[in-house]
Structure 1
Amino acid sequence: MTRLCQRWERWLKDNFPSALETLQEGATPQEVDTFSREIGFVIPEDVREWFMWKNGQVHQPHLNVLFGFELLTLSDSLREWRFWQTVSDMNEEFAESCKSYPNDAILPAYTTPGWIPIAKTSGPADYLGIDLNPGPEGTVGQVINFGRNEEKKCVAGVSLADFLEFVLDEYEAGHTVVNEYGIGGHDYFYLNLYGELLHFSCILSQLHEQQKFDGRRLHIDDSIERIKPYPPELAERLRRLHFAALNDDAETVIEFLDADPELVQILPPGGNTILHTAAMGQSPRILDYLERFKLDSNARNDEGETPLTSCEEAFRDFFVFEEPSKQEMKQHQETLKRLHQMGSRME
């Protein structure tokens, strides 16, 4: 692990120094022991060394260093772990929809006490974590994805060390796009695969189906198509346009599209049209402006969502842990009304 941590720090220093500055001082052995007692599981040695190297990140939007996932501190991990124990009654409802890659490596559950989050997305409650209670064909300490939107649960490495080796191989080979789009405060890392720029959790099951998991770690070879990212200037304009749309900044959207109307035809990673992004931003003002471009109100993004579906999903995900205010609910209803008027339908 020492060698992997040194590689990681060197790569961040050379390629993403602002993110390196967010990493916190390592935890003490006593802090890791306390964490282990709280969750009731023995922490694998490589995971101990990981937290003792750097104890997560200071939260900074757009600086998530693990394929767009924010590294959690021990205290953050414990807080998230405790929350997921409160929803264990949902296992009965969702267990049947869960699938394991490889088969039987991961328990068919919505949540279990043995899934320990080590990294989290900026948006919905989705995680990369350590599986200390694997399925009959799994390995204690394997790295998996889990969370609210993760019905397909995949082994990303049979240990944290194996997973980090894969991550660093991809980073050092230049197969990731860093800080290219960052739309909506979400993930700034995209893997350049399958002819698209894709977020890591979106391709895990595809990599397994393409037999890119050798039983220990993932491997991505030249048989998988890669694409050239947009030129930096265009990528930055696209990022700023969609960021404005997601944040109900109608003035910026109008300024960009009045100057360059062709931007509405260029899709960022994930395939969201500007209608999708404005819908997720709950912005009827921007939707009113966009009507002049006669865009397809039922275009589907890479997840198969129409703008109306994205609007509903984004609103639900944003208010997982709190109730919307009256003003927020009113704006959501106005956005839905406008989308219906434009002819948008649920998927």
Structure 2
Amino acid sequence: MNLDAFFATYRGWLQGVAPGVDATLRGPATEAEVDRYEETVGAELPAELRQLWAIHDGEAEAEPSGGTIGGLVFLGVAESLREWADWSSLRDETSDEDMQALRMFSASVPADAIQQEYTAAGWLPILKESMEGNYLGLDLAPGPGGQPGQVINFGRDEDRKAVISRSMSDLLGFIASEAQQGEIVVSSVEPRGLPVLAHRRGRLISVVRRLAESRGPLA
């Protein structure tokens, strides 16, 4: 599913199931903003990430109640860069010994597809678990068995990392399909009256990781 088709399909579903949530999606980011992001992270961005942010620059005022994409917060350019910078600071400020201890339990599924690290500069956060430091995002520095631009899970609680999909388009297409099949539901209503989304089977990050582990990257 291409990105334009995803948003057309998914926004229509939101309007029917979770009225008002789609209104939190922002307009497009500017090319200059995305260029600055690329310069800061020091890596060429995949064309589909540029396209994603050219459609919507993330969402506004999502936390602490959840986010638009299956309950995950869709990070815009500034928010993604802020999260990336926080992890960059952690890498700079953590001793080699402590970083070794943090990476001790890291695992990659499939083996060698993802760097066995606690955190890496090439991991770009795109979807975030509300109020938690856990993400689905793009891996621009994969392990020897991986592909640049693959989508992985990573973050504070994500020692076991998997190749979730080969692209953001594939992941978002899967989420749209889950929504249409009734697997993503309104779990509660936040104080402002907006519905809060969640997957029927628990944390969306865990759901997609388990599926990717059992049957390969989602498409």
**Aligned pairs (5 A) from 1:54-203:** 54-60=56-62, 61-88=64-91, 89=94, 90-180=98-188, 188-192=196-200, 197-203=201-207
1:21 and 2:17 correspond: no
Secondary structure of 1:116's aligned partner: strand
1:171, 1:13 → 2: CA distance? 12
**How many Å apart are 1:206 and its aligned residue?**
2.7
CA distance in 2, matches of 1:47, 1:208: 21
5+ unaligned residues in a row in structure 1: which ranges?
Answer: 219-347
Question: Aligned with 1:145: secondary structure?
Answer: strand
Shift in Å, 1:181: 7.6
Query: Structure 1 residue 63: deviation in Å?
Result: 4.4
Stretches of structure 2 lacking an aligned partner (at least 5 in a row)? none
| Superposition map of 1:285-296 within 5 A | none
CA contact (8 A) 2:71 2:199 kept: no
Aligned to 1:283: none
- Give the structure with the higher percent helix: 1
Given the superposition, is the C-alpha separation of residues 85 and 8 from structure 1 closer, same or farther in structure 2, using an over 3 Å criterion? same
Indicate the structure with greater strand content: 2
Match of 2:210 in 1: 206
Distance in 1 of aligned mates of 2:99 and 2:143: 15
Pair 1:217-2:218 in alignment: yes
**Greater relative contact order structure (CA < 8 Å, 6+ sep):** 2
Three-state SS of the structure 2 residue aligned to 1:144 is strand
Pairwise CA RMSD: 2.0
Residue number in structure 2 paired with 1:266:
none
- Partner deviation per Cα, 1:268-303 (whole Å, 9 max, x = no partner): xxxxxxxxxxxxxxxxxxxxxxxxxxxxxxxxxxxx
Residues 117, 129 of structure 1: 8 Å contact kept: yes
Whole-Å Cα distance in 1 between the matches of residues 47 and 174 of structure 2?
Answer: 19
SS, match of residue 86 in structure 1: helix
Q: Which has the larger radius of gyration?
A: 1
**Does the 8 A contact of 2:58 with 2:74 survive in 1?**
yes
Superposed CA offset, 1:157-213 (max 9, x none) = 11111111111111111122223487xxxx943333xxxx3111223443244x222
Structure 2 counterparts to residues 274-293 of structure 1, below 5 A: none
Deviation at 1:13, TM superposition (A): 2.1
Q: Which amino acid aligns with 2:148?
A: V
Counterparts of 1:189 and 1:144 in 2: how far apart (Å)? 21
Q: CA deviation at 1:18?
A: 1.7
Contact 1:101 1:205 in 2 (8 A): no
TM-score by length of 2: 0.86
Are the structure 2 counterparts of residues 205 and 128 from structure 1 closer, same or farther at C-alpha, using a change threshold of 3 Å? closer
Summarize the Cα distance change of 1:212–1:180 in structure 2 as closer, same or farther, 3 Å threshold: farther
Counterparts of 1:99 and 1:20 in 2: how far apart (Å)?
36
Deviations 1:110-161 (A, max 9, x none): 1111001112222221111111111111111111111111111122211111
Letter in 1 for 2:199: L
Question: Which residue is 1:254 aligned to?
Answer: none
Which residue does 2:52 correspond to in 1? 50
Distance 1:124 1:62 in 2: 12
Specify the alignment match of 1:7 in structure 2. Answer: 9
Contact 2:29 2:57 in 1 (8 A): yes
User: How far is 1:40 from its partner?
Assistant: 0.7
Q: TM-score, normalised by structure 1?
A: 0.56
